[in-house]
Amino acid sequence: MSEVSHPIVKETLKALLERKEFLPVCQGESRDKAFKSMEAILSTPNQIHKAYIRMPLANGEIVRIPAFRIQHNNALGPYKGGIRFHESVNEHEVENLSFLMTLKNALHNVPYGGGKGGIIIDPRSLSEKELHTLCVKYVRNFNDIIGPDKDIPAPDVGSGEREMDWMMAEYKKINHGQPYLGSFTGKSVINGGSLGRREATGKGVYFTMRYLLHDYVEKNRTNLEKSENRFAKTTLDHFGRPLSVAVQGFGNVGSVTALEAYRDQKLQNKVIAVSDRNVTLVNRDGLNIPALVEFTMKNKGDLPVSEDQLKEINVEATIESREAILTMEMDVLILAALEDQIHQDNWSDIKAKIIVEGANAPVTQEADEQLAKNGVIIIPDILANAGGVIVSYLEWLQGRETQFYTEEEVFKRLYEKMGETMETILPQYYADPYALRQNAFIHAVGRLSEVLYKQGKLY
Ligand code: NAP
């Protein structure tokens, strides 16, 4: 049996079990049974689908590329989650990401379940034609299990609008006459995508940071000042002053988050470092983020790697190793690259007191526990990076009605949704001893458990 190894699930269920106000109708032996069922449901996905995609390459060679679609849970709605194109994809990773999607949707009250896809390939190693064939064949292989009311994929690392457009076109062709706009999200706007989808995750990541360190404190300062909670102290230490921010990963999520931080006139942050898989660029007085975004757009997503390239675009920065970003002096570290970036061997070198998880699972469980003990606030992935799935939901709704919102409307709805979640989570966070991740898990698992209980699935 395959299992998501999340000790936090056990702790979350224990915390819920002890709460008398949680599922008060379910008591005694049936309460124990219900919680055991819940643990099993969370720890194992509903379905694991795997295919070996047969691919003729341009050089005449024929290869078989492993591909997955894992459907974790659909109690709250159709499965939903991205398709990752990366050489390090593996079944366990996809499964863990599908589990996080279940919780992310439950946390933000988005009517979807959790799923995830992955293809073990470095997309940069394929020509555009080969990539197109791979996308088309992915849909052919998984056509029976995907669809607007079954399982709705979206982009993830290594995939984007182009791939979603190709996939939707294939889905439309195979399922002739059926609704198709809701089969994939993250499509180009001209193909039924939503305005603002590309920026949604990065904007949401910055929104959670700002909400926690500024908007919420403005409204609740007196209470926080009275609180003995160690995280309240960290929050207040960062309130009302310009913050130094570093962003690991300068792709879809990282570049937009960095721009948002740079542009926030009120808080006057300084984005002092950004990185990608090649370099870290540092300027303690603040980097020129718009110039770097423009450069990456013209250079296949890569940041400048030499003095000459920096000079060409008039950006002042020193070039350091890609790992340097993690351990620099700074206030806020935003992780927007890949998993497991802060772990057992480097957590004690981390100087930031606020960490925001733009990427999924960038901090390991061990590092997470140690950092929390030191009063470091980690805004967890399921809370911080849900902007993408929230706007995907808006895209799906717009596709159903073939009525499309303005960009302003999209961001307004995005911030309302994320703001509601923050308002639900934060008062409890500052009142109880748990870290923010545990708090978010308790909330998400609580909602999912109640739904499953009412559906008669916990026995
Ligand atoms: P992306 O556009 O592919 O960007 C990834 C970035 O990380 C690139 O700048 C890449 O650099 C960099 N990177 C890769 N390996 C690195 C390393 N070892 N050290 C430092 N940087 C490294 O992907 P994305 O869409 O922004 O996704 C980033 C993370 O956010 C993923 O965990 C993803 O699951 C999560 N996420 C994304 C969305 C979304 O809507 N896109 C939604 C929720 C969560 P190179 O360009 O040099 O390769």
- Helix axis angle, 216-226 to 407-431, nearest 10°: 0
Residue 1 lies in a domain: no
Same domain for 141 and 202, yes or no, is no
Furthest C-alpha separation in the chain: 70
CATH code of 336's domain: 3.40.50.720
Distance CA 396, CA 186 (A): 10
Q: How far is the CA of 209 from the centre of ligand 1 (A)?
A: 19
Same domain for 94 and 217, yes or no, is no
Same domain for 174 and 79, yes or no, is yes
SS3 call for 314? coil
Residue 179 lies in a domain: yes
- CB of 277 within 6 A of ligand 1: the answer is yes
Q: Edge-to-edge strand order for the sheet containing 79-86?
A: 47-56, 62-73, 114-120, 79-86, 151-155
The residues that are catalytic are 116
Q: What is the pTM of this model?
A: 0.95
- Report the run of H or E that residue 280 belongs to, with start and end: strand 280-282
Same domain for 175 and 226, yes or no, is no
- Low-confidence stretches of the chain (pLDDT beneath 50): 1-2
Same domain for 117 and 230, yes or no, is no
Same domain for 187 and 225, yes or no, is no
Residue 321 lies in a domain: yes
Residue in 117, 96, 99 with CA at minimum distance from that of residue 107: 99
Give the position, in ligand 1's atom list, of the atom nearest the Cα of 337: 7
Distance CA 325, CA 117 (A): 29
Residue with the nearest Cα to atom 4 of ligand 1?
Answer: 251
Same domain for 159 and 207, yes or no, is no
Q: How far is the CA of 312 from the centre of ligand 1 (A)?
A: 25
- CB of 336 within 6 A of ligand 1: the answer is yes
CATH code of 60's domain: 3.40.50.10860
- CB of 392 within 6 A of ligand 1: the answer is no
Distance CA 378, CA 371 (A): 8
Structure tokens at 63: 């290869």
Residue with the nearest Cα to atom 29 of ligand 1?
Answer: 359
The sign of the dihedral angle between the CA atoms of 117, 121, 123, 126 is negative
* Phi, psi for residue 248 in degrees, rounded to 5: -90, 125
- CB of 338 within 6 A of ligand 1: the answer is yes
Same domain for 121 and 254, yes or no, is no
Residue in 158, 153, 249, 160 with CA at minimum distance from that of residue 198: 160
Give Cα separations from 301 to 110, 256, 335, 385 (angstroms). Answer: 31, 13, 17, 20
Residue 28 lies in a domain: no
Same domain for 171 and 54, yes or no, is yes
Q: Which of 151, 174, 191 is a domain's end point? A: 191
Distance CA 357, CA 338 (A): 10
Residue 151 lies in a domain: yes
Structurally, the chain folds into a number of domains equal to: 2
Q: Which of 166, 191, 216 is a domain's end point? A: 191
> DSSP secondary structure string, 10-34?
HHHHHHHHH-TTSSTT--HHHHHHH
Residue with the nearest Cα to atom 30 of ligand 1?
Answer: 359
Residue 320 lies in a domain: yes
Structure tokens at 152: 């709705």
Residue 365 lies in a domain: yes
Distance CA 148, CA 185 (A): 10
Residue 403 lies in a domain: no
Q: Which of 148, 165, 191 is a domain's end point? A: 191
Residue with the nearest Cα to atom 31 of ligand 1?
Answer: 359
Same domain for 202 and 83, yes or no, is no
Residues 264, 211 contacting (CB under 8 angstroms): no
SS3 call for 424? helix
> DSSP secondary structure string, 229-272?
-HHHHHHHHTTTS--EEEEE--SHHHHHHHHHHHH-TTTT-EEE
Structure tokens at 13: 């269920």
Same domain for 257 and 226, yes or no, is yes
- CB of 199 within 6 A of ligand 1: the answer is no
Ligand 1 pocket: which of 289, 338, 383, 391 to mutate (most atoms <8 Å of CB)? Answer: 338
Total residues belonging to the chain: 459
* Phi, psi for residue 157 in degrees, rounded to 5: -50, 130
- Report the run of H or E that residue 442 belongs to, with start and end: helix 436-454
Residues 439, 425 contacting (CB under 8 angstroms): yes
Same domain for 202 and 280, yes or no, is yes
Specify the long-range contacts of residues 25-30, CB closer than 8 Å, at least 24 apart.
26/453, 26/458, 30/459
Give the residue numbers spanning the domain of 242. 198-387+417-445
Residue with the nearest Cα to atom 32 of ligand 1?
Answer: 359
